[in-house]
Amino acid sequence: MNRIASTWHEAATTTKLLASLAVVAVAAGVAGLGTFATFTSSTSANQSISSGTVQIGAGTPGPANRLTVGASDLAAGDTVQRAFDLSNSGSIDLSAFTFSASASPSSLLDTDTTNGLQMVIQKCSQAWTESGPPYTYTCGGTTSSVVASRPVIGSNITMSNVSDLLTNGTTDHLLLTLTLPSGAGNTLQNQSSTISYTFTGTQRAAASK
């Protein structure tokens, strides 16, 4: 008897629970409709944002860029001159300009820092006057030193007298001169290197716009 009564009691409790759940469902439905229908307000604004560009480049291969022209059969004491333009064509000013050169394939021409190739970079206030090939150059304006004589291979080499290039929309006329020192020994004969020149511009310091 007790067991049967207990079973009914449980059944009755279950019914009440269901009823309660149903009531909660009604309340939730009403609250949901009310909130969705009326209880919000929005306001908005539009804003256009654009980023600038850091863009530097060497001139198009040709008179504005002879860096791609190779040199062969160098003898001790020979020089190789190659003019090129360097431009800042981005929209963001720069804070620094650096230069790197690497070799692949490499040889004693670039690994011998004393008797291997040495480089100099100069700037002319106007386009270099070219003759040749083999190319030689004169400057009809004023010249200034950009990189003083040093072994050709190096990383992040500081470039002087190119501060005008930090402002976008400017072009400098540069001349790379490679020299195989007259002291180069026989070990440097019949060597071959391919050298990559990389110029890197770094954007100005961050600012509030």
Partner 1 sequence: VLKVLLLLGALGALLGGGGGTLAARLQPHGAKVSQVAIALGKPGRANQLNVPGVGLAAGDTMQRPFDLKNAGKVDFTAVTLTTTASPSSTLDTDPSGGLHIQLDSCPKKWTQVKKSPTYTCKGAIASVLALRPVLGTNVVVPGLAHLKKKKTVHLLMTIVLPASAPNSVQGQTSTLTYTFTAI
From 2, 43, 114, 131, residue interacting with partner 1 (rule: CB under 8 A): 43
Q: Choose the binding region for partner 1 from 21-29, 109-117, 126-134, 171-179 (rule: CB under 8 A).
A: 21-29
Best CA proximity match to 59, nearest among 80, 79, 89, 81: 89
Best CA proximity match to 166, nearest among 132, 209, 199: 199
Neighbours of 146 (CB within 10 A): 22
91 touching partner 1, by CB under 8 A: yes
From 3, 26, 72, 104, residue interacting with partner 1 (rule: CB under 8 A): 26
From 7, 9, 10, 52, residue interacting with partner 1 (rule: CB under 8 A): 52
Best CA proximity match to 52, nearest among 20, 80, 96, 94: 94
Q: Choose the binding region for partner 1 from 45-53, 56-64, 145-153, 180-188 (rule: CB under 8 A).
A: 45-53
169 touching partner 1, by CB under 8 A: no
24 touching partner 1, by CB under 8 A: no
Q: Buried b vs exposed e over 161-189: b needs ≥16 C-beta within 10 Å?
A: bbeebbebebbbbbbbbbbbbeebeeebe
d(CA 193, CA 109): 7
For partner 1, the closer of residues 2 and 50 by Cβ is 50
Which chain residues interact with partner 1 by CB under 8 A?
A: 15, 18-19, 22-23, 25-26, 29-30, 33-35, 37-54, 91-92, 203-209
